[in-house]
Amino acid sequence: MKNRFVKQVIAIITTFGLVISGMGLVTLAQEVKGNKDETIYFDLSANGRLTKAIVVNAFDLDGMSKGQALVDYGRYTEVINLSTLDQTVVDEDQVSVNIGESGMEVPERLYYQGTLKDPVNPWVVDVHYFLDGNEVTPESLSGASGALELRIDVKPNPISIKSFADRYTLQAVVVLDTQVANSIEVQGGTIVTVGSNKQIAMTVLPKQEQSCTIKANIHDFKMAGISITGTELSLGIDIDTKSITDGVTQMVDGSNELVKGTRALLDGMKESASAVQSLDSGMKKIATGGSELSIGNDQISAGLDQLKSASEAITGGIDGLGKQFASVGEESAAIDSLATQLSQSDDQSVQALAKAYLGQKMLIEGSQGALGELLSGSQTLTAGLAQLDSAHTEYTQGFNSYLEGINNFSAALSRFDSSFSEVPGSISGLLEGQKALNDGLIEARNQLTEMLDQLPIPNDDDAAAINSYVDDRNTPNSVQFIMKTPSIDYEIVKDIQPVKEEKKGFWDRVKALF
């Protein structure tokens, strides 16, 4: 009976010591409104399956006095008061402790543990062992030698109704003794040296999946159990995710408007390029027509020169003819007198001839006056042609300057058209770049939204972020998880040589009696 009581006390003290040693981890959790701390211990199989869950509840009894009842909630198969001898009463899913009932002083903190009914691990833990490329059972690795490969896969448990995997960070630790494992390689984890051991750590962030592969050459293999701790991740910063996503959305909207504006600019530039091409074509036609007009103008100039020469010749001829008529008039005075006399002759023939001469004389005298008028008109025409030629010469000079300007403008417009025709293509490239930028912004917004959703950043929906793993009616300050797989043990048994019993003498046998 005495030995049984001693064993119970030792068990209580040992458990209490384990709890106290784990309290350092509790202080890492974020403190929120609550009245207790929960530490959940998961016993895992070597492959990571949950086999048993024990919860250690730590209550702060500051301000409580004897006679008061401490009430907690949870579905347990067994509960043990680890701090006092006060009776722990279980009524279905309610646990109560009457403080000071045993006569003991009220402690600062009260601890009790409970074994949970139907526990569910918020994470799925898979551990696989391979030796020389073949998957083996963990038990078969005890004392084994060869090429070891250890794979650990952790992901959120889809059947868990609790949201711990969305807010908690896990750290899995594997310790390998370099006396039985060497040439250690790690993928998906970090490795540090602690004395003669290599400590491999794998971190699993909230809402994430993580895998770790460890390879080593082993002999006489043994390994401590894999330990996994889970604590709530606190970034220590206040991030307004809505402002971030709204800002990125505004950037996307602005990019959309920029694409629309550039597309409208492209359409306008295409129309402008078409107009410039039409203008260039028209100016080329004008330049061609100007060249043809220049040819016609040269022909007009040549015609004017010919007219001026002909007019001068006609004027000279008329002037000469007038002079001849004047000379004839002066020399025919005697003939004119004779003809006058003969016009009175009785001879009809002579009379007719004389009258004919006198008629011709009168015609000549009349023509002489007409020739004077004609000469005056011809001289006026010649002077007018000279003025026209002079004016045409000035016109030709102006037209040639105009034609030169048209040709220069047409050449410049052609060069501008050649350069301007490339502008729509450049704007098209700009538009494609803006579309790519817009697509990139949309993709970045989606990725940023997904990333922010995965971060454990408190929001309005996390007002009760610290909820009890055991029962939602509990209000813990912190909840943490401690998981462990069984160790792989191996002990080299040395051959023990039997001790030869020496023969005892008489006095030796006498001494042995005492």
Least confident piece of the model among 39-53, 122-136, 183-197, 405-419: 405-419
Where, residue-wise, is CATH 2.60.40 in the chain? Answer: 123-239
Least confident piece of the model among 167-171, 316-320, 396-400: 316-320
Phi, psi dihedrals of residue 119, rounded to the nearest 5°: -70, 155
Where, residue-wise, is CATH 1.10.287.950 in the chain? Answer: 243-426
> Can you tell me whether residue 227 is helix, strand or coil?
strand
Label residues 134-146 b or e (16+ Cβ within 10 Å = b).
eeeebeebbbbee
Residue 95: name the closest of 36, 151, 25 by CA. 36
State pLDDT tens for residues 227-266.
Answer: 999 998 766 555 666 677 777 788 878 878 887 888 787 7
Angle, helices 241-331/333-342, rounded to nearest 10 degrees: 60
Decide which of 1.25.10, 2.60.40, 3.30.470, 3.30.70 is the CATH code for 123-239. Answer: 2.60.40
Query: pTM of the prediction?
Result: 0.54
In this structure, what DSSP letter does residue 27 have? T
State pLDDT tens for residues 54-98.
Answer: 999 999 988 788 888 889 999 999 999 999 888 889 999 999 988
Measured CA to CA in angstroms, residue 225 lies from 172, 242, 250, 329, 482 at distances of 11, 43, 52, 158, 12
Angle, helices 241-331/423-454, rounded to nearest 10 degrees: 170
Query: For residue 456, is pLDDT > 60?
Result: no
Query: For residue 325, is pLDDT > 90?
Result: no
Alpha-carbon distance of 276 to 260, in angstroms, equals 24
The domain defined by 243-426 carries CATH number 3.30.360.10: no
Q: Identity (one letter) of the amino acid at 137?
A: T
Contacts of 74 (CB under 8 A, 6+ apart): 55, 57, 93, 95, 114, 116, 470, 471, 474
State pLDDT tens for residues 343-388.
Answer: 777 777 777 777 777 776 676 666 666 666 676 777 787 777 777 7
> For residue 409, what pLDDT band results from cuts at 50, 70 and 90?
confident
Query: For residue 457, is pLDDT > 70?
Result: no
